[in-house]
Amino acid sequence: MGRPKTSQPRNAQLNLSLTARELENIKRRAEAVGMRVGNFGRALLLAMPDDAALKPAPESRINRLVHAQLVRLGNNLNQMVRHLHATGDPLPADLEPLLRDIRQLIDRRCCDDR
Domain ranges of the chain: 20-54, 61-113
pLDDT, tens digit (0-9, with 9 covering 90-100), for 42-52: 988 888 776 65
C-alpha distances (whole Å) from 108 to each of 59, 99, 102, 104 are 17, 14, 10, 6
Q: How many other C-beta atoms can be found within 10 angstroms of the C-beta atom of residue 63?
A: 13
> What pTM, to 2 d.p., does this model score?
0.41
Judged by DSSP in three states, 5 sits in coil
pLDDT, tens digit (0-9, with 9 covering 90-100), for 54-63: 566 567 788 7
DSSP secondary structure of 63-92:
HHHHHHHHHHHHHHHHHHHHHHHHH-PPPP
The confidence band for 22, taking pLDDT boundaries of 50, 70 and 90, is: very high
DSSP secondary structure of 51-69:
TGGGSPPP--HHHHHHHHH
Would you say residue 53 has pLDDT above 60? no
